[in-house]
Amino acid sequence: MSLLQLHGVSRRFGALKALTDISLDVQPGELRAVIGPNGAGKTTLFNLISGFFPPSDGRIVFDGREIQTVNPGELVKRGIIRTFQITEIFRSLTVYENLRIAVEVAQGVNLRPWMGRTLRQRIDDRVEELMHMVRLDGKAGRITGEMSHGDQRVVEVGIALSRSPKLLLLDEPTAGMGEEETHHMTSLIRDLNKNRGITTLFVEHDMEIVFGIADRITVLDNGTMLAEGTAEQISSNPKVQAAYLGQAA
């Protein structure tokens, strides 16, 4: 069964048509990229899937249930977890403190005035697990605001993973990174998907990354779906070449 399905989804803002008749199907365990020029509707698509606003038309089905009227908080509980273009972390806190807060919230114990030894150990173990998952071992005591942009983005991914996502939405995860940081993040995304089975949908402008790791690629242009397929199919598609890749059709 598909994990995520969009059926004829459109979104209008007054007279502006941000998305028109979008249909897509994401399978469990898939690593799917969404590409397109600026203004193509990529962020609007993510906003619809994560419940920030409902579609004007169409249906969105996640894990067998319609979600087009479900609020973001409930979707987080159901397993749709998202990162944003602007890094969302506690910059004055350490890596460990950022992840611990996330784990406590995820496990519903953040408002407890005290914790028993067993619960504290469970929280600590989960934080250590997350640091290992995102390859931040040895950086637990670093103040996140003093770390590189790439490491800050990795901390944000760790925070997202604290919720054990069924679907991870990454909005431009390598934006603003240098070559080494980009390699780290790309390798991390691939590892989380291939070795840990996290279904991932990501927006990315770097075509080398997209063609290098995505199982399938969805191309948007002017709010419509222009093409969908493997890296080979997309790179050889004349419509995509003309509209996005800047090559002659």
Percentage of the chain modeled with pLDDT above 90: 84
**Which one of 138, 164, 190 terminates a domain?**
164
pLDDT in tens, 26-61: 999 999 999 998 889 999 999 999 999 999 999 999
The answer on 65 and 46 residing in a single domain is: yes
The answer on 207 and 194 residing in a single domain is: yes
Nearest to 79, CA basis, from 92, 63, 64, 90: 63
Q: Quick one: pLDDT band at residue 18, thresholds 50, 70, 90? A: very high
Torsion 28-26-159-49 (CA) sign: negative
The two three-digit tokens of residue 111, written as one number? 């408002």
Question: Which pLDDT belongs to residue 111?
Answer: 61
What pTM does this model have? 0.91
The answer on 93 and 74 residing in a single domain is: no
**Which one of 129, 147, 164 terminates a domain?**
164
The answer on 160 and 218 residing in a single domain is: no
Range of the domain at 159: 88-164
pLDDT in tens, 80-125: 999 987 788 999 999 999 999 999 999 888 766 667 788 889 999 9
pLDDT in tens, 129-174: 999 999 999 999 999 999 999 999 999 999 999 999 999 999 999 9
The answer on 130 and 207 residing in a single domain is: no
**Which one of 164, 191, 207 terminates a domain?**
164
pLDDT in tens, 191-206: 999 999 999 999 999 9
The answer on 134 and 186 residing in a single domain is: no
* Beta strands across the sheet bearing 16-26: 16-26, 4-13, 57-62, 65-66
The answer on 249 and 176 residing in a single domain is: yes
Total number of domains constituting the chain: 2
Question: Which pLDDT belongs to residue 249?
Answer: 35
Instruction: Determine contact, residues 23/6, Cβ cutoff 8 Å.
Output: yes
The answer on 249 and 191 residing in a single domain is: yes
pLDDT in tens, 55-82: 999 999 999 999 999 999 999 999 999 9
Instruction: Determine contact, residues 144/94, Cβ cutoff 8 Å.
Output: yes
The answer on 119 and 147 residing in a single domain is: yes
Encode burial over 111-140: b for 16+ CB neighbours within 10 A, e otherwise.
eeeeeeeeeeeebeebbeebbebbebeebb
pLDDT(245) > 80: no
